[in-house]
Structure 1
Amino acid sequence: MDNNIDFKDLWKKQITGQPNIEDLLERVKQFKKASLQSLWKANILFTATTAFMIFVWYYYQPQFMSTKIGIILVILAMAIYMGLYNRLLNTYKNSDATQANHEYLQELIFIRKKQQFMQSTVLSWYFILLMVGICLYMYEYASRMTVFYALITYGVTLLWIGFSWFYLRPKQIQKQRKKVNSLIEKFEEVNGQLES
């Protein structure tokens, strides 16, 4: 019995599946569509929230300067976040999955870098401005409450912000990264197969 097995020869003879380009292009199309839908939903929510905040300011005529500053900070936080988030809109619109695999791979890596910047720096500033704005906004109304109810109001609000920061934000970030990283891995795999 011959124990000398030529692994290199066996490796060369194995049948490898060709990359399924149609499947990959469909995944890219779905990713692009979901990203654009997410951007549009965020823009609609931003516009509605801003309109509501302006309505509250106009209709209820807050007396404290802290309330007005709070409203401005909340709107500013959302405007900064949405302004930078909308820059991704052009990236998604202009991306073309039918271009060369290597070029599209570089585009996906660029999108991932932009998302990481949004998820770290921009989102951190967004939450800080939002929290400060909400706390300042609530001060006028909390000052009219008993200390007990004011503490409960602030406690519930800060708990919700903490829950959003420590639980919801990481889950959303992980979900977004997983989508982009999956596409990048597939394009790298296709590039590797096409080059060999």
Structure 2
Amino acid sequence: MSDNINFKDIWAKQTSVAPNSEILISEIKKMKQSNLRKLVLTNLLLIATSIFIILIWIYFQPQLITTKIGIMLIILAMVIFLFAYNKSYSLFKSHMNSQSNSDYLKDLLAIKAKQRFMETTMMNLYFILLSLGIALYMYEYTQRMSTFWGIFTYAITSIWILFNWFYLRPKQIKKQRAKLDAIIAKFEMVNNQLNV
């Protein structure tokens, strides 16, 4: 018996088992339902927040134009984000009526591209408008505070925005990409084995 075992040859001869297509489609349906729940929750939260901000505007009657511009920028950020997010979901929904595995794979890759657009362009625009709006909105009220408390208020708000931008947002993006990439990889494996 030879002591020289060639692990590379053994590994190359090994065949991987492709995932079952029905299981993959079931995973897509679960992901679709999860995305629908997130969409509904996001819509409810951002609409409720916009209504609350409008009520604050009506009730407190801000005096400075900066406060009014800040409120408009915050609401604009939410409206733009919701418009793009809802449009993105409708594309996801229409893509999931495919028949073949290769169609599913093409559709998933298209969804991945839309998801990247939402994670980069739309989230950047949302955060920039929201941050600018909050900064302008707070100006009128921090003017009434002492210098220390005004700086402290802006510092705490900036820390919260930066925490969201540099920690929570990348973590959420990574989690969403991992789910979609895992399903795409499984569909690629199925397609590769069907095409052999």
Q: TM above 0.5, one fold?
A: yes
Match of 2:100 in 1: 100
- The aligned amino acid for 2:71 is I
Q: After alignment, is 157-166 or 80-89 more displaced?
A: 80-89
Q: How has the CA–CA distance of structure 1 residues 45 and 109 changed in structure 2, closer, same or farther, with 3 Å as cutoff?
A: same
The Cα of 1:194 is off from its aligned counterpart by 1.2
Counterpart check, 1:128 vs 2:128? yes
Question: Partner residue of 1:62?
Answer: 62
How many residue pairs get aligned? The number is 191
What is the identity percentage for the equivalent residue pairs of Structure 1 and Structure 2?
47
Q: Greater shift after overlay, 89-98 or 28-37?
A: 89-98
1:45 paired residue number: 45
Shift of 1:58: 0.6
In structure 2, the partner of 1:118 is 118
Q: Unpaired runs of 5+ in structure 2? A: none
Given that 1:142 and 1:153 are in contact with CA atoms closer than 8 Å, whether structure 2 keeps it comes out as yes
User: Does the 8 Å contact 2:67/2:140 carry over to 1?
Assistant: yes
Given residue 68 of structure 1, which amino acid in structure 2 is its aligned partner? Answer: K
Structure 1 spans left out of the alignment, 5+ residues: none
Paired residue type of 2:20: N
Check the 8 A contact 1:66/1:137 in 2, yes or no. yes
Distance in 2 separating the partners of 1:127 and 1:15: 47
* Whole-angstrom CA distance in 1 between matches of 2:107 and 2:22: 19
User: For the residues of structure 1 that align with 2:130 and 2:153, how far apart are their CA atoms?
Assistant: 16
How far apart, CA to CA, are the structure 1 residues paired with 2:154 and 2:141? 11
**Structure-1 separation of matches of 2:180 and 2:19:** 18
Which residue in 1 is equivalent to 2:173? 173
Q: Map Cα deviations across residues 75-128 of structure 1 (whole Å, 9 max, x no partner).
A: 001111111111112122223365111111111111111111111111111111
Taking structure 1 as the reference length, what is the TM-score of the superposition? 0.90
| 1:182 partner letter | A
Which residue is 2:162 aligned to? 162
What pairs with 1:127-146 in structure 2 (closer than 5 Å)? 127-146=127-146
**Preserved contact between residue 39 and residue 86 of structure 2 (Cα < 8 Å):** yes
The 1:47/1:97 distance shift into structure 2, 3 A limit, reads same
Query: What is the aligned-residue RMSD (CA, Å)?
Result: 2.0
Higher mean C-alpha deviation, range 99-108 or range 139-148: 99-108
8 Å contact from structure 2 (residues 21, 101) kept in 1? no
* Most deviating of 141-150 and 98-107: 98-107
TM-score (norm 2): 0.90
Give the Cα–Cα distance (whole angstroms) in 2 for the partners of residues 160 and 52 of structure 1. 20
What SS class does the counterpart of residue 115 from structure 1 fall into? Answer: helix
1:115-152 per-position Cα deviation (integer Å, ceiling 9, x unaligned)? 11111111111111111100100011000000000010
Tell me by how many angstroms 1:19 deviates.
Answer: 3.3
Q: Check the 8 A contact 1:19/1:193 in 2, yes or no.
A: no
The 3 A distance-change label for structure 1 pair 16 and 173 is: closer
Contact 1:74 1:129 in 2 (8 A): yes
In structure 2, the residue corresponding to 1:99 is in which secondary structure? coil
CA contact (8 A) 2:53 2:71 kept: yes
